[in-house]
Amino acid sequence: MRKPIHIFTNIIFFIFLSVAFHPLKAQKMFYPGYVVTNNGDTVRGKIPYDIGNNNNYHIVDLRDDKGYSHKFNVWQIKMYSFNNEEYYTKKCERGETIHRKGLVFMHKAQEGKVTLYEYEYVRKIGAARSYEEGGIASEGDKDFYYETKEGELVYFPRLTYKKVLRELVSSYDDCLKIMSDKDFEYKKIPEVVKCYNEQN
């Protein structure tokens, strides 16, 4: 008679663990922030960072001060900010842009003579919506763009980024020296752009 009770106890304990630990996995980190709509309205509240699941690169969830949740698509707002970082609506060259006319949120990484933007995204893997669902540990891909004072947005292509970068900094030997390092790679573009902005 004790065996069924033992099995029942194990089942109850398993259910308890499932309920207790499931919310931990689903928790998100919320940061104070705001969005600026296309009409110029500012909506303040808290915004989660959840790339790959919540897709902060084309959708922003905002919880206002009253606890109400608002969902903003990339074509509805000019920019959003959270955790003292700013993201602007821009048109990208690649990434997860289907049905969005190429519009995504780009992180403003540097500001100066030119503004450097980062577009971080997670590519779909089969039916998976993120690397996590695909069973792959990754922070996603990141593309770089720079914007001139005149508002021209220039993409750094993966295959020819050195050519684009060299044209930008051709008059500055210190910046070209950074590029001449044998270990220089795509993700080090911000170092060269920083050098360029410091020269102007």
Residue 48's pLDDT band (boundaries 50, 70, 90)? confident
Residue-wise pLDDT tens digits, 165-196:
999 999 999 999 999 999 999 999 999 999 99
pLDDT attached to residue 4: 54
pLDDT attached to residue 67: 85
pLDDT attached to residue 131: 45
Which DSSP state fits 187?
A: G
User: Of the ranges 41-45, 91-95, 100-104, which is most confident?
Assistant: 41-45
Residue-wise pLDDT tens digits, 72-89:
999 999 999 988 889 999
Residue scoring higher pLDDT (97 or 29): 29
d(CA 127, CA 176): 43
pLDDT attached to residue 54: 43
Domains and CATH numbers, the chain: 2-155 (2.30.30.100)
Largest CA distance in the chain: 87
Helix 189-198 × helix 173-180 angle, to 10°: 170
Residues 6+ apart with CB under 8 A from 169: 175, 176, 179, 192, 195, 196
Mean pLDDT of 24-29: 54
pLDDT attached to residue 20: 45
Residue 126's pLDDT band (boundaries 50, 70, 90)? very low
What is the Cα Rg of the chain in Å? 22
Task: Read off the tokens for 2.
Answer: 């004790």
Say yes or no to pLDDT of 135 above 60. no
Q: Which of 31-40, 95-104, 139-148 has the lowest mean pLDDT?
A: 95-104
CA 82 to chain centre: 12
pLDDT attached to residue 154: 95
For tokens 């931990």, what's the residue? 24
Task: Read off the tokens for 85.
Answer: 């970082």
User: Of the ranges 51-55, 125-129, 183-187, which is most confident?
Assistant: 183-187
What are the backbone angles phi and psi of residue 36, rounded to the nearest 5°? -115, 115
